[in-house]
Structure 1
């Protein structure tokens, strides 16, 4: 792997990055590869951020990415990475497919409960089936 991008002249150009995390292995790796840390708000190709700082690029903000800019997280990623929110979205998708008569497309998705809020539903299913599995 190269430590930078090739320019048209064949010279190596250092990748510019911005980070909000200054005590992490990723920062050391980028520095060891000769990448250049920048302080400017938009003069970077990679923004390595904690999950809280990535919100500046949400669909509702005025900050837009250039085509060459990359992030290590994407806006609203918690909808997939937090199990409770992923379950909520999977259940929503399941209901939508059921309305279209396509519920078989979600047959891989097991009954799922978010405790303690779904305890009543869990207990009801547990008693009906006689166990969890």
Structure 2
């Protein structure tokens, strides 16, 4: 499989990327987010904690969990893209500007501060 230290290092990077991405998406969707979005982050972190309970002598369990978590996130993204297309994926990922004219792309936060749409 691989040395425990390598698996742990790669796994820690994968875990950071996954948790960072999920947290980022939760904050970006702050207007539309719900408690379930926060629960997703807590569940992923809790799952990592539980892996150490099963076999604390085997140090690479967390690493493999984290690698699987990132791979699962990537597979979900690719399947969503394949099944729904580029435009739907862009909207899902938080880029609703796809298909809107350039002049209508002023962020909502800019309008709230008195900056009109161009």
Short-chain TM bin: under 0.3
Q: TM-score, normalised by structure 1?
A: 0.26
Q: TM-score, normalised by structure 2?
A: 0.28
If you compute each CA radius of gyration, which structure gives the higher value, 1 or 2?
Answer: 1
Structure holding more helix per residue: 2
Which structure would you say has the larger RCO, counting Cα contacts within 8 Å and 6 or more residues apart? 2
